Amino acid sequence: MDALIKPIRPSKPSDKQVDRPAELDPAEFLAAAVRADQPRPARAEAEQAVKTLLAYIGENTDREGLLDTPRRVVEAFDELYQGYHQCPAEVLDRTFGETAGYDDFVLVRDIEFTSQCEHHMMPFYGKAHIAYTPVERVVGLSKLARLTDIFARRLQTQEHLTAQIAAAIDEILKPRGVAVLVEAEHTCMSVRGVAKHGAMTFTSRFTGMFRDNPAEQARFLSLVRGSQR
């Protein structure tokens, strides 16, 4: 299952749409999601909204234990959703050319993350595994983890998160190929609804040589699975 993604480049008549996934709007990874001039509710309004929700579930918002809860919730939102104010392109803007002609892919696996599902605003968490095959220059390894955190600290689906990570690396670094595998548990499925604890969701996205070469996909997946032994 893939996220709904808007195409940004016209397809050539020879392109096979079934083989080439649509691309994301570059606005999603070339700039912060929130502009400085974008109208937003005041902090007091946000805290009042939290108070309204507490009243909705039947709580007494004037009891001692909840007096400071609206402030704390808004502060938690500032932390959990800080990805809206961070620019993915800036994370990948510094590369290094001293690679001694290295021409194989670079893999960073087991990047832990926590995100929030846009459907229920409940956490999902797990690991991302990211590989790319550089062209002459490489990016700092920690930048791939930072990129994951920026997108994870926004509301979206796991499918969209996977596609965003791959699209950003592909567009900004312009490597020969990108491979992204994300595995996560969704609390909207494990603690509510069907309540299936431990059920894991896997999503993947391949571009370039990883998309076109099954052997490279297999090698990537083999190295990722090696971390689970």
Residues with catalytic annotation?
Answer: 117-120, 158, 186, 188
Spatial separation of the C-alpha atoms in residues 25 and 9, rounded to whole Å: 9
- Cα–Cα nearest to 186, from 118, 102, 100: 118
Pairing type for strands 106-117 and 155-156 reads parallel
Residues 6+ apart with CB under 8 A from 3: 156, 157, 159, 160, 162, 163
152 with 145: CB under 8 angstroms? no
